[in-house]
Structure 1
Amino acid sequence: MTKSIFIRSFKLSILVTLLCSSCSSNNSSIKMKGSDTEVNLAVNLAEHFTTLDPAFNIAISGGGSGLGITSLMNGHADIANSSRPLSEEEKQQFKDLGIAIRTIVFAEDATAFIVHKSLPIDEIDILTLAKIMKGEYKNWSEITDMDLPINIYGRQSSSGTHSFVKKKLKIEFTNAAKEMTGNAQILEGVKADKTGIGYVGAGYVAHDPSASQGVKVLKIKSDDTLGFISPMNQSAINAGIYFFQRPLYQFVLEKSWDKVRPFINFERSELGKTLIQDHGYYILEQHQNEI
């Protein structure tokens, strides 16, 4: 009798251990937060992945690269989508917190500058663009024949795209620039404002032509040797010569790596690559390292 009770207790102990292990690892649930540039793509990738593996549950939200990185630090995310690299301050914060992470570059993005469709301008050089964004040029009459004030639609400071554009143009944005929460708001703002100019992820307008109705995507010239280049020019992106192109990052908690890896592998599969490209992003082979 005593032996029988011992065996049942031993089996129960094993069962509880296995259940607790399963609960703690939670290997079928992933939380992904961060970049609004990447959010639509991330949702589409997750939908296809969970169709192939219904056991997985992937919760995705935007809010900006900074929010995603902070969520990673706070343990509220397994993956932070980011349209910029970690800052030195953020690297130090992860180190101080004892949090190990992995960095994945899964696509190449191009930032597009858009204006209202009626504005008589199709291309712009970066020196002129910088003067507009920092508020030195306040009226379109300074570069066109239209006497209208310039209205700028940009992103909040937590946005990786905001930081990227500011760094590339080597400016501080004018305080008059409107701070929007994402690509959709910027598009709608410029569509409704014939004096508007803003910046969005090129993939956002390339993936859904209806989203870009009412606006024009400007060609950009960074120097006289290259001429004006569209962010939709695949050859230019492959050659790395479009001025506003950048890698897209995913920062992954090391402790979440085992459960995240199947999804990362899916992103790098042929289907994953096709989905990324269908959204208007680019795959550069130098980013496709073995993981």
Structure 2
Amino acid sequence: MKQLLGAILLIFLSACGGENRAIKVKGSDTEVNLAVSLAEAFYKVNDDFSLAISGGGSGLGIASIINGQADIANSSRPLSKSEIALFEEKGIKIRTVVFAEDATAIIVNKDFPMDSIDVVTLGKIFDGTYKSWKSVTGQDMPITLYGRQSNSGTHSFIKKKLDIRFSPDAKEMNGSAQIMGSVKSDKTGIGYIGAGYLLQNTEQLTVKALKIYEKAGDAAVSPMDRKAILEGRYFLQRPLYQFVPEESWEKVSAFIAFEKGLTGQEIIEDSGYYIVND
């Protein structure tokens, strides 16, 4: 249940639920497991609602809002200028909710000979400047890149933070589970996934999350360091968004309020994400 791939849909059905209580949530694969956990708990105390949760990427979720196919778009990135323009063109008013904070983990095989990496080197790896690990670790082995499709919010986030264009040699994966599985079995591999996914799967953690530092002399920070994230010291941390069309707001407001309540906040923390203080 907790390891959903982007294409898998989790549906809660209620005999009492009508259209005004049927909520469709689509979007970010980074957020999908968290959204499922929140929906499960919400449904236990609000069983007159029905909820359908699916992933597929932030871009898909936002497109679903534009096409009238979702009430909430989960997104691990802000709206692009073109998306904002399209909403305006179609006369769709959007409310934006920031409901959690996430960190993106750079993962390598558990036998990788380094525990930390600097931002510049990371950029040269992902843009294809470095094609061998020799320049990084001294090992003359090819670098295998594992990433996401361009509609992924995590893809866009990494690209923007590192100020790069991704290497065309990067293998496009469908989600965190696929990336982690690939890196687990590939000693030359490197990829990126949500740290929350790692924290949810610590019992089967078979990859290494690299600590990151920006320049020589800086402390290397782990994406698993809760204190560092809360202090904003990890280079690859970001807010998680939910975009709601104005016409759906009344219907979803109970679910949004649940997320911000005590139980919702506990679920967010227990799932490996961080509380946003409004």
TM-score surpassing 0.5? yes
Return the TM-score normalized by structure 1. 0.88
Q: Which runs of 5+ in 2 are unaligned?
A: 1-15
Q: Which runs of 5+ in 1 are unaligned?
A: 1-21
In 2, distance between residues paired with 1:184 and 1:56? 29
2:234 paired residue number: 242
Deviation sequence 1:105-136 (CA, Å, 0-9, x none)? 00000000000011111100000100100111
CA RMSD of aligned residues (A): 1.4
What is the aligned counterpart of 1:232 among 217, 224, 239?
Answer: 224
In 1, distance between residues paired with 2:115 and 2:126? 17
What is the aligned counterpart of 2:117 among 109, 120, 124?
Answer: 124
Percent identity between matched residues is 58
Aligned residue pairs total: 263
Aligned residue type for 2:178: Q
1:33-182 mapped onto 2 (5 Å cutoff)? 33-182=26-175
In 2, distance between residues paired with 1:154 and 1:254? 33
Q: SS at 1:99's partner residue?
A: coil
Return the TM-score normalized by structure 2. 0.92
2:243 paired residue number: 251
Q: SS at 1:81's partner residue?
A: strand
Against the structure 1 CA distance between its residues 196 and 135, is the aligned structure 2 distance closer, same or farther, given a 3 Å change threshold? same
Q: SS at 1:229's partner residue?
A: coil
Cα distance, 1:224 vs structure 2: 4.0
| Structure ID, larger Rg | 1
1:276 paired residue number: 268
Aligned residue type for 1:165: I
Cα distance, 1:212 vs structure 2: 2.3
In 1, distance between residues paired with 2:209 and 2:217? 21
- Structure number having the greater helix percentage: 1
Which portions of structure 1, spanning 4 or more consecutive aligned residues, are displaced by more than 6 angstroms? Answer: none
Cα distance, 1:210 vs structure 2: 3.0
In 2, distance between residues paired with 1:49 and 1:35? 20
